Chains A and B, each alone.
Chain A
C-alpha cells in the first residue's frame, strides 16, 4: 500500500504543477500562449520536456521487457539508433521548422504544409492520417496507468479506477496548463526517469549480490544468447535505424520544436539527447537481461518457462496457443517485479512514481491533437474568424476532455495488445511521413500532389501491414513463414514479431517508396508560385 500512496502523492504533485502553470498564464487567453507557451520555453525545460515527450512507457517498462526476452540487442535496436537519428533530425528539421514558425506564426505542421504547397484539403488529409496514427498512444497511456496502479497497489486499486485517475490527472493539467503545464510536468518527469535508472540499477545490483556473478552465470547458461545478437538478423537490425525517423514527424514533437524561445536552445537538446537516452535505456536494458538470473521470483520463472515451451514446442502448436505463451512470457513487468523483490517499500513507491511518469507520457499527444484540431480544422474552416481566439482556446479545452473520455472508454473495453500493435504500425507510418518534411524544407521542386501521394501511400501501407498481420498468424520463434517469393528471393514473409519485405521490416520499403513518390509525382505536377518559394528558399536556386 505504501508504494501506492507515494504514487498518489506524485500524481498530486503533477496536478499542482499543471494548475500552477495555469495561474502563471492567467488572463492571457491567446491560442499561442495556451498551445505553444508563447514560444518562450527556456533551455533546461526545452531539453528535458522535448526528451520526456518522446519517452513513452516503452522507455522503462517495454525496454526491460524486450531485453528480458531478446537480450542486449534491445539497446542497439531502439536506443543507440535513436541517439543518432533523432538529434540529427532535430538539428536539420526542428531548427528550420522553429524559424518558419517564428517568421510566419505556424502552430502545427499542417499549417506549414498548407502554406508551403498552397493547398487546403490535402492539408486536411495529412491532419486525418496524423490524428488516426496518434490516438492509439493516448489509449495505451491510460491502459498503462491502470495496469501500473493495479500492480503497484498489489491489486488494491482496480484497473478501471487506476485508468480513470491517470486520465483525470493528465486531462486536468493539460486542460489548465496547456503547453506550459505539459512542458513543466514533462521536465519533472524526465528528471524522475533519469534518477530512476541509476537508483534501480544500484538497488537491484546490491540485492543480487553484484552483477559479475549474474553475468558470468548467464554467459555459461543456455541463455547466453541474450548477451549477444546472434538471434537477430542483420536486415532486422539495419531496418530499425529507419524507425527513429518517425520522431520528428510526430506532430507532438514538431509542435514542441516551436516552443523554444531562441534557436540556441536546440544546441543543448541536440548534444545531450544521446546521453539522456544512454542514461535511461542502458540500466533498463541491462536489468531486463539480468532478470533472467533471478531464481526466487515465481512470476519471472513462469515467464522463462513459457519462453522455453514456446521455443521447444512452438512449431507444433496452434497459433492461439503460441500467442498465449507469448503473452505469458512478455517481460513488461520485470522491472517492477525486481523492485518488489529487492527495493525497500518506500523506495519501490518512489520508483513506482518514476514508472508512472513514463506511463503518463500521453499528455503531449493529447495537447498536440487539440492544437491540431483547433488550428487545422476549427480555425482553418473559419471558426476563429467567426467566434474569436478565446472561443478557439475553449474549443481546444473541450476537445481535450472529449478525447480523454473517448480514450478512457476504449481503454476499458478493448484488449491492450490491439493498441500495442497499432503503435507498432504508427511508428512505421510516421517514419513514412518524414519525407514530407524533408521535401517541404529542402526541395523547391516538391508539390502538393507529391505530398498527397506520400500521405495516401502511408495510410494504405499501414492498413496493408495491419491486415496482413491480422490474417496470417505469427509463426513459431526462429521460423519465417514465406508468403511470396520470386526466383528464390523472399519478397514477403510473416515473422514471429511482424512482417518482412525482402527480409527488411516494412518501415524500410515504406520510407523509400514515400521518398520516391514525393520525387516522381512532384516532377510531373505544377510547382507552387515563385512568391511562395521565395518565402521558403529566398531568391536563389536550391
Chain B
C-alpha cells in the first residue's frame, strides 16, 4: 500500500511538471516573477519533499545490511 502510494505520487509529480495550465500566462507573481517560472520553482521544492518521502518510507536498507553481512568478494578470494 505504502509503495503504491509512493509510485502514484511520483507519477503525479511527473504529470504536474507538464504544467499546461500556465502555458500562455505572463502573470507576474510578487510583481516580478513570471507565473510559469514560479510554478516550476515550487515544483522543485515539491520534488525535494517527494524525495524525502521516498527516503523515509522506501529506503532500501536491506542493501546496506547485505553489504555489512557479506565479506567483499575480491578481498576474500
Interface on A for B, CB 8 Å cutoff? 72-73, 75-76, 79-81, 83-84, 87-88, 91, 95-96, 98-99, 102-105, 210-212, 214-216, 219, 224, 227-230, 234, 237-238, 241, 262-264, 267, 270-275, 277-278, 282, 285-286, 289
Contacts and interface: CB of A to CB of B under 8 A. Distances in A.
Contact of A215 (B25, B28, B48, B59): B28
List 8 tightest A-B contacts by C-beta distance, closest first: A105-B74, A99-B63, A274-B47, A227-B34, A278-B44, A227-B26, A72-B37, A211-B32
Nearest to B63: A99
A228 B25 contact: yes
Interface in B30-77: 31-34, 36-37, 40-41, 43-45, 47-48, 50-52, 54-55, 59-60, 63-64, 66-67, 70, 72-75
A361 to B, nearest CB: 21
B48 A275 contact: yes
A215 B32 contact: yes
Contacts of A99: 63-64, 66-67
Contacts of B72: 102-105
B20 to A, nearest CB: 7
A81 B20 CA distance: 15
24 contacts: A72-B36, A75-B41, A80-B41, A83-B44, A91-B51, A99-B67, A102-B67, A103-B66, A103-B73, A105-B72, A211-B32, A227-B28, A229-B23, A229-B24, A270-B51, A272-B48, A274-B47, A274-B48, A274-B51, A275-B45, A278-B44, A278-B45, A282-B41, A285-B37
Contacts of A80: 17, 40-41, 43-44, 47
A282 B28 CA distance: 15
Contacts of A98: 63
A91 B54 contact: yes
B20 A95 contact: no
Contacts of A102: 67, 72
Contacts of A210: 32
Specify which of B14, B18, B34, B67 lies most central, judged by the most chain A CB atoms within 10 Å of its CB: B34
B66 A212 contact: no
Given A219-B26, A274-B51, A76 B40 contact: yes
Given A270-B55, A273-B51, A274-B47, A215 B75 contact: no
Given A211-B32, A215-B28, A282-B37, 16 more contacts: A91-B51, A91-B55, A96-B60, A96-B63, A99-B67, A103-B72, A104-B73, A214-B32, A224-B26, A227-B28, A228-B34, A229-B36, A234-B18, A241-B14, A274-B44, A278-B41
A205 to B, nearest CB: 9
A234 B17 CA distance: 11
A51 to B, nearest CB: 13
Contacts of B20: 234
Nearest to A272: B48
Contact of A95 (B19, B25, B60, B73): B60
A271 B32 CA distance: 28
Nearest to A72: B37
Contacts of B8: none
Contacts of A277: 44
Given A72-B37, A80-B40, A275-B44, A264 B17 contact: no
Contact of A219 (B13, B28, B45, B63): B28
Contacts of B60: 95-96
A344 to B, nearest CB: 24
A60 B66 CA distance: 41
Contact of B31 (A91, A215, A228, A278): A215
Nearest to A263: B64
A47 B75 CA distance: 28
B33 A286 contact: yes
B36 A271 contact: no
Contacts of A286: 33, 37
A143 B2 CA distance: 49
B43 A95 contact: no
